[in-house]
Structure formats: structure tokens, C-alpha cells
Amino acid sequence: MVAIKALACELPHEHGLPLSRLSLSEIGREAVRRGIVASIGGTTLWRWLSDDAIRPWAHRTWIFPRDPNFRDKAVRVLDLYEGVWEGQPLSPLDCVVSTDEKTSIQARKRIHDSSPAGPGRAMRVEFEYERCGAWAYMAAWDVRRAKVFGRCEHHSGIDSFLRLVDFVMSQEPYRSAPRVFWIMDNGSSHRGETGDRRLTERWPTIVPVHTPVHASWLNQVEVYFSVIQRKVLTPNDFRSLSDVEDRLLRFQSHYEAVAKPFQWKFTRRDLDDLLAKLDDRDRAYAKAA
């Protein structure tokens, strides 16, 4: 049993197999070929692998942390979610805003009207469609107050991002807040010291906070983007580009009526545990190689 589980946890191409993933039947055939067992049934294999939740036929993509300052940058963001900045509690008047852009939101006009759901029948959406253009949706999520601000722009970029910043910062409580922390990625519209200086010269109370490179999962606005993807953009069936804009902007008010701050549970302690596991895995791979 142990040898079978070890086989299932191997990358097949590292052992000369012309495969990217192992199926249950392929594990059985390879076990017989290697002489691990004389024969084995699929049900037995399934039961053994299920004991340890091993599913070699499944896969998921991920991005390995490559930012040399990954932990330091990530901790700053995670601390803000817990109401802390540089070891000190935030003031009740401080604001924390998470921002990003969702690009290329298309308006797909179906060549036949969709049919609503009925008894024993799902909604039907025509497969073919006409493209009616696309928006870049710029959004900012107030982490502490569960407020969302969004704009539809024809193109992303510095000017589009600054319009969003001005839109938020010109309103209360952000206009009068002693500090407004803007959590953002490293996109070209607000990257590096130049981007930070552009923001702080425009609004001196802004404190730019950048996530590590390729760490969008640390940005809470991505959670909101997942909500609009499910509730607004799927299925994509819009009469026009203005129809997309109208639905996105009206959804903001609809969502805020019931929204609460996200229950963010991943802390700096969880981060340290994760990074330790990745280090252990790297050392194990290096030793095996």
C-alpha cells in the first residue's frame, strides 16, 4: 500500500512515462509493471488513495513566491487587515482601501434571447454572440467599512487609476481621514516610487502599500471581483457595453446593502507557516535531485 501511494505521488515524466498526470488505471498498470503487485483492482486502488486524499489525476495552478521581499511586503498587508500598522493599532479614523482593476470585461450580445429557468429546466443562454466592446473595471474596496467604489474605463492606465483615486478621496471619510492606506499590486499605473510619489503629491494622507509581486490573493478587492464574476458577469449576456456598465455600477449599491467586512482569517502566523512549508519542500526537492 505504501509503495502504491508513493507511486501515485510521483510526477510521471520524471520516471520516463509519456504522461502529465496519472489516472487510476495507469497507476494500476504501472504498479504491475514495476512488480509492486501482481494485480490490483480499481476499487482497491481508490480505497487506498482515498485514505490519504491522494488524487494524482487532479491539478491546480499556482504562482510560487518569487519576490525577494515577499514576507516583509505581505506582512504589512496582513497587519492592516488586523488593524495594525508598524506595530501600532490603527486609529478609528484611519481608512484601509484595497484596489485593483478587472480588465477586458466584454459585452457579449447573444444572437438569440436567453430563456429563463423553468420546472426541471435550467436557464438557457445562446452559445453564439456578438462582441460589443469591453470595459476595464477599476474598483476600490473599503476593508473596514465594506464600501465599494468602481468606475468603468475604456482603457486602464495611470489616468484611469487616478480618476478612481480622486473619486474615492474626494468623499468622506477619506477626504478628512488622517491616513488612507491604499493596498495595491505592482501594475504599471501605480508601480514603484514614481507611482507612490504621484499619489502622495496628489493626496498627502495616502499611504501606498504594495502587495508582493504575483500575490493578488492578498488583495481583498479580488474577493469582491469574484463576487461580481459570479453574480453579475456569469452568464455574460448583455445588449450593449452601456448595459454592462449599468449593471456593474448598480450592483455596487445592491451589494453594499447587505455587505459586511470580509472575515479575513489568513494572518502573519499563517504566512510564516506557509513559507516554512515551502522552504521544507524546496529542500526536499533539492535533496531528491
Beta 147-153 vs 180-184: how paired, if at all? Answer: unpaired
pLDDT, residue 289, reads 59
DSSP reduced 3-state for 147: strand
* Residues 6+ positions from 256 with CB-CB distance below 8 Å: 146, 147, 148
Q: Report yes or no: 1 and 19 within 8 Å, Cβ to Cβ.
A: no
Is the preceding peptide bond at 212 cis, omega within 30 degrees of 0? no
Among 258, 249, 251, which Cα is nearest to 137's? 249
Q: Report yes or no: 21 and 56 within 8 Å, Cβ to Cβ.
A: yes
* Residues 6+ positions from 125 with CB-CB distance below 8 Å: 110, 114, 235, 237
pLDDT, residue 78, reads 97
Report domain 70-114+125-256's class: alpha beta
- Could you report the per-residue pLDDT of 69-79, keeping only the tens digit for each? 999 999 999 99
- Could you report the per-residue pLDDT of 171-193, keeping only the tens digit for each? 999 999 999 999 999 999 998 99
Count of helices and strands (H, E) across the chain: 9, 7
Cα 7 from Cα 47, distance rounded (Å): 15
Low-confidence ranges of the chain (pLDDT < 70): 285, 288-289
DSSP reduced 3-state for 237: coil
Q: Report yes or no: 131 and 108 within 8 Å, Cβ to Cβ.
A: yes
Q: Report yes or no: 208 and 199 within 8 Å, Cβ to Cβ.
A: yes
Cα 97 from Cα 189, distance rounded (Å): 17
- By residue count, the chain amounts to 289
Is the preceding peptide bond at 173 cis, omega within 30 degrees of 0? yes
Cα 250 from Cα 190, distance rounded (Å): 27
